[in-house]
Amino acid sequence: MTNHLNVSFISYILGVNFVSEQSCVMLYKQKKYRTTMNPTVKYSAFIASLILVMPYVAFADQGTQSPTLQVQLASVTCTDNYDAAYLNDVVNAISNPTITSTITTTDIPKLNADFAALQADVTANNTVQFKIDSQKFTSDQRTANLDAVTAIKAAHNTTVNSTLKSETSQLQSTEKSCLFAAKQQKAQVKVQTYTKAITNAQNLSNNLTTHGANTGALNQTIANANSQIQTFQTEVNNAQNSTQLQAALNSFCLYNGCKTANNFHFAANAAIQADQAKLNALAGKNTTSTFQALVGQAQSDITNAQTALTQVGANQYQGTQSSAVWNNIKAAADVIHQLQQIVNHKHH
């Protein structure tokens, strides 16, 4: 049986398209910021300034690329830029091609290739490959850092150590700012996702209303969710550092994403209310015992879904709770679709 109402509803609630962050396009012009390092080139200051801009690359000309991948790439860009600058500083400070040959001939090219692969994954919307390439990037980062430590020990020079300590302090501060900017982008994407979901749910409610359904309960659910989203957005906008911003991100999840008890379960709540509104509109259309038996079956499914969701509360789903909620929502939608077909057939 076709899951007409449920499929339609979920496509509204979860099928979110994102608009490009046009304001960010001008901040980044596809500069090739790193090639294989030349030990004589000193550019940590360049990287330090560029690091502040690089999170926006993930949002420039994004087209149909996944916002989630773009946010992840923004964070990776911060650490990649830090690694690029730090390795270059190590090579420059030691100024001995023999000692730093592994860094220049192996580590830097690998990290270049890794980052290029991650960029390609984002362009291709390839989430699976992005995860694989991220793991390789992290592994190569660890190796490069170990090689840098080995080179510094081999140089055994206090001037080298002092120079790198100063450079590293600057780069760490800049990376921290970069990661905060990347996390801000993550938060704004989350706000955009939530706002789009509310708009789609309201459109669905309006559509149900035009077909005679009483959507008062659904509209109340939408209003409650929207109120919490506004509070969430205010907390995000007011965050002054990564700690405050992370606290804001953890304070509210429209769906099931918070480990803390801050989950609204909007899709499930709204789907239940939409099922109920449609069922109420159909219930009096036919008085035959067969039709009314189906009405009773659908109502039982909706009640079971609501009971299961009430038990979840604001927590994340545990064990079979998600199945208990959504299997009943889908079962109700199936029966409601049957009822709609009966009503449609009667009027032909």
**pLDDT above 90: residue 313:** yes
Tell me, what DSSP letter sits at residue 253? Answer: B
Range of 54-63, 144-153, 184-193 with top mean pLDDT: 144-153
* pLDDT score of 347: 57
* pLDDT score of 150: 97
Q: What is the mean pLDDT of residues 24-41?
A: 34
As a whole number of Å, the end-to-end CA separation of the chain is: 21
77-100 residue pLDDT tens: 999 999 999 999 999 999 999 999
* pLDDT score of 64: 55
Q: Mean pLDDT check: name the lowest of 27-41, 170-184, 204-218.
A: 27-41
**pLDDT above 90: residue 61:** no
What is the C-alpha separation between 294 and 289, in angstroms, rounded? 9
Q: What is the mean pLDDT of residues 54-71?
A: 57
**pLDDT above 70: residue 202:** yes
What is the C-alpha separation between 206 and 192, in angstroms, rounded? 21
Mean pLDDT over the full length of the chain? 84
Q: If pLDDT is split at 50, 70 and 90, which confidence band does 345 have?
A: confident
Q: Mean pLDDT check: name the lowest of 14-28, 56-70, 204-218, 324-338.
A: 14-28
Q: If pLDDT is split at 50, 70 and 90, which confidence band does 65 have?
A: low
Which residues of the chain form CATH 1.20.120?
Answer: 17-185
**pLDDT above 80: residue 32:** no
**pLDDT above 60: residue 243:** yes
Q: If pLDDT is split at 50, 70 and 90, which confidence band does 68 have?
A: confident
157-195 residue pLDDT tens: 999 999 999 999 999 999 999 999 999 999 999 999 999
Can you list the alpha helix ranges (DSSP code H) found in 239-265?
A: 242-250
Tell me, what DSSP letter sits at residue 56? Answer: G
* pLDDT score of 8: 38
* pLDDT score of 86: 96
Q: What is the mean pLDDT of residues 132-140?
A: 97
Q: What is the mean pLDDT of residues 108-113?
A: 96
Of 3.30.420, 1.10.3470, 1.20.120, 1.10.600, the CATH number of 17-185 is 1.20.120
265-294 residue pLDDT tens: 999 999 999 999 999 999 999 999 999 999
* pLDDT score of 305: 97
263 DSSP β-pair partners = 253
246-256 residue pLDDT tens: 999 999 999 99
Element at 166 (helix H, strand E)? helix 158-210
What is the C-alpha separation between 4 and 40, in angstroms, rounded? 65
Q: What is the mean pLDDT of residues 298-305?
A: 98
**pLDDT above 50: residue 334:** yes
Q: What is the mean pLDDT of residues 293-312?
A: 97
286-289: Cβ within 8 A, 24+ apart: 286/339, 286/342, 286/343, 286/346
Q: How many residues does the chain have?
A: 348
Q: What is the mean pLDDT of residues 17-27?
A: 28
